[in-house]
Chain A
Amino acid sequence: MTLDQLDVGKSAAVVSIGPGGHGDRLMEMGLIPGTQVRIIRRGAWHGPLQVSLRGAIICIGANEAKTVTIGALNTHDDS
């Protein structure tokens, strides 16, 4: 499942990020494998996502969110 498919209000853990320069930026913003993310809100018409991540709120475009693979939360991770 990718980040853009996560329902509003649900949390998940980042598994991996697709290749390419955008992916590097996403990682530098804190989307490291294992990081916990939660969808706060979704913009209308496939708009950007508001994601809670490492204590911050980040807006990620829908296209960029497609490159982030997510999985179930690992109970050990508390980032």
Chain B
Amino acid sequence: MTTAESKDRVRVAFVGNPNTGKTSIYNSLTGARGKVANYPGITVERRSATIQRKGRTYDIVDLPGCYSLVARSVDEKITHDELSGHTASRPDVIIAVVSATQLARQLYLTLQLLELQRPLIVALNMMDLAEKDGVEVDVDALSQALGVRVIPVVAVDGSGLERLFVAADQALTGHPLLALAPNDAKAVAGVQTALRAAAKPASVGDALWLMTSVDSADAKEAELCRDALDAAQRLTAIHPDPMRPSDLKRRIIAARYKEIDRILANAVTSKVSSRGPDESKIDAVLTHPVWGLLCFAIAMLVLFQAVFTWSDPLIGWVEAGVSAVAVSVTKVLPSGLVQSMIVDGLIPGIGNVLVFLPQIIILFLAISLLEDSGYMARVAFILDRLMRSVGLSGQSFVPLMSSFACAIPGVMAARTIPTHRDRMVTIAIAPLMSCSARLPVYTLVIGAVFSTSEPVLGILSVPGLIITGMYFTGIAAAFFVAKVLKGLTLQGSAPPLLLEFPRYRRPRVRDVARVLADRCWIFITQTGRVIIVLSILLWGAMTWPNSPLSSSEKASIEQHALTKGTDVDIALARAEEKHRLINSAAGQAGLFIEPIIEPLGFDWKLGIGLIGSFAAREVLVSTLGQVYGTGSSSDEESPLLRQAMLSDIDPATGKPRFTPLVGLSLMVFFAIAMQCLSTFAVVRKETNSWTWPLTMLLGYNALAWLASFATYQIGTALGWG
């Protein structure tokens, strides 16, 4: 049966285990035409492309790599849903990608695909590697045994890809190769009948999927197949009790592997062990408890350096570019509301998005290289024990570590974590890793109130201790939150550590470039949207109503400046800024929240600062500059700003408002609070919900309030005030 031949538009699905080079094949075939979209309601992305070939249109989708169609993880559920037509329409042809070096295991999924009784071809990848290993595959014998065409390909140099299309056009329908016991076969047939009656896909594979997914099928799915499920339960006496061993499931799994062994006995000969001695030697070092950890530490050092420091010049270019655009707009547009909105609101908003690209590119470049080379699996092996003891997975390490540079690429990197639960926890605690944007805040406070402190024990500098303390505060909060999350909301027992060590291979430039292009594009269009909107809203709140100084106020400032000998224009400009900010919505909000933040030791000026720093933490500095009247261009080292803060006297008590304890309280607040609208936006995108980011925003700010409160009150009680 060659159903694909007659159609003009053919839907093709690529399915396979992870590490088969499936995505390389997909990239080679689709190139720049691939697009990425969201599956509704979940965080997995859908990669698809439409290409033309010899007058025919092919809609190709690259399904997530999975080991089985039984729905235990989101990836497996999606693959099954796409193949049975629950999401888009069913694919016309399935291309099962397997690696010639791993047939003994990878054919398992292929057998499941054959049971779906749809047109299928097998792309046998990595033939070059197999040859090197001394593994000989008799492609014809394999083809005969499987009952479908097998096309050898070598994805890395593109050979065989054209033949894939020809074969896909003439794909034969698969048939199940499973030898079932008579009782089981009867049960399966019964379920198929029930499915047919319910007008659902009723292949052997569909029946088996239902029968073996009973424990893990979600409620809605079960509802849709109620009749078939009942039939399955009646016939096989399966109870949906996850604790009881489900014999049928295991009988089927064993039967499939028996079939695989039988097929391979005829079709594959291997003369040597399938892994070269070189790879084993490399693994011996890279997974060694001491040397492996050392190599990893060095790799991480380089990665961190790259994301933290080497990105600086690139970020500088982006910022310069944005400024240049802003300047040219001021020349073109007449000054007024529209110009201000664009130059002070929209353009910085866009800049706020673009400025993250250098770090995103660098981080994902590093991650792609680590993953595609096969090293990441080794990392998971080394780190697993350590990370599990704190409730995280080995793959959480890189995203969390890069969050010390910036949480935005760190949260994005969490998508490499395979288990949903670990991914969510990692995303949730990433903002608590003290990011580099907090440093200007720490620098400002330490410079103002801690710079003259005596070294502790004569050698440990107070600033150093404090900064270290702030980092540990963030990490401690992260442990706490991870524990709470695991206990409370995220269901499911700890996922098992079960992963495959892929062969070491050289990453392909094209595949890495694809990842970078996808991530940047998605970031700009999806996360960027939210960042720009929030930036503009915040700018609006900090500007309107745009109340100017009265003429008498202006006169007195001019007078004051003249007597002190300072520049009149600068003094006027700063006073204008300050007046506008204090009378803006954000400014009034700062005054409004003063009673709430007073127990933390903060006054309304810091209140406005807190609101302004929602744009980005380091904006606290320029906001305080505005509020204290030293100008929004003040930076964290500015002596003027420090002086202004220190000489601010509380009229009620006559004492300085900004004491070391207040400074400490402020830093503790910043260490924990979620105060970055870009982080908010990226969490929203990566979790595909508003619940997570909103909960984090409220939760972390509440936690920060408590920590700050404790710091200030305890400190006051101890007399440190």
Contact = CB atoms under 8 A, between A and B. Distances in A.
Interface of A: 17, 19-30, 32-33, 35, 40-41, 43-48, 50, 53-61, 63-64, 79
Contacts of B277: none
Contacts of A20: 242-243, 245
A29 B498 contact: yes
Contact of A30 (B216, B249, B250, B257): B257
B471 interface: no
B177 to A, nearest CB: 16
Contacts of A27: 250, 253-254
Contact of B501 (A25, A43, A59): A59
Contact of A43 (B68, B242, B382): B382
B102 A28 contact: no
Interface of B: 67-68, 70, 72, 101-105, 108, 215-216, 242-246, 249-250, 253-254, 257-258, 261, 270, 274-275, 280, 283-284, 287, 289, 377, 380-382, 384-385, 496-501
A45 B387 CA distance: 12
B275 to A, nearest CB: 7
A56 B70 contact: no
A42 B245 CA distance: 29
Given A24-B70, A79-B104, A48 B249 contact: no
A10 to B, nearest CB: 16
26 contacts: A19-B243, A20-B245, A21-B242, A22-B496, A23-B250, A24-B250, A25-B72, A28-B67, A40-B280, A41-B284, A43-B381, A46-B385, A47-B381, A48-B381, A48-B497, A53-B105, A55-B103, A55-B105, A56-B105, A56-B500, A58-B500, A61-B384, A61-B496, A61-B498, A63-B496, A79-B104
B72 A21 contact: yes
Most interface-central of A19, A53, A63 (chain B CB within 10 A): A19
A28 B208 CA distance: 14
Given A28-B68, A28-B70, A43-B382, A57 B501 contact: yes
Interface core residue of B270, B380, B385 (most chain A CB under 10 Å): B385
Contact of A24 (B105, B246, B289): B246
B498 A25 contact: yes
Contacts of B274: 55
Given A44-B289, A47-B385, A79-B104, A59 B497 contact: yes
B253 to A, nearest CB: 5
B67 A50 contact: no
A5 B149 CA distance: 43
B481 to A, nearest CB: 24
Nearest to A16: B250
B285 to A, nearest CB: 11
A25 B380 contact: no
Contacts of B289: 43-44
A30 B105 contact: yes
Contact of B385 (A30, A32, A44): A44
Contacts of B105: 29-30, 53-56
A55 B269 CA distance: 12
B104 A54 contact: yes
Nearest to B102: A56
A33 B501 CA distance: 22
B498 A55 contact: no
B500 A19 contact: no
Contacts of B249: 24
B43 to A, nearest CB: 21
A67 to B, nearest CB: 9
Nearest to B103: A55
Given A27-B250, A33-B254, A48-B497, A55 B287 contact: no
Contacts of A46: 385
Nearest to A24: B249
A20 B242 CA distance: 7
Contacts of A30: 104-105, 108, 257
Nearest to A44: B289
A26 B496 CA distance: 9
A41 B280 CA distance: 11
Contacts of A55: 101-105, 270, 274
A37 to B, nearest CB: 13
Contacts of B496: 22, 25-26, 60-61, 63-64
A46 B243 CA distance: 26
B243 to A, nearest CB: 7
A25 B108 CA distance: 12
A56 B104 contact: yes
Given A50-B287, A61-B498, A28 B101 contact: no
B102 A45 contact: no
Given A28-B253, A44-B385, A64 B497 contact: yes
Interface centre among B101, B244, B261, B280, by most A CB within 10 Å? B261
Contacts of A23: 245, 250
A61 B387 CA distance: 13
A67 B501 CA distance: 21
A50 B284 CA distance: 11
Nearest to B275: A57
Contacts of B500: 29, 56-59
A28 B66 CA distance: 11
A47 B289 CA distance: 10
A28 B497 contact: no
Contacts of B283: 40-41, 50, 57
Nearest to A41: B287
A59 B382 contact: no
Contact of A58 (B101, B261, B498): B498
Contacts of B270: 55
Nearest to B389: A45
Nearest to A57: B501
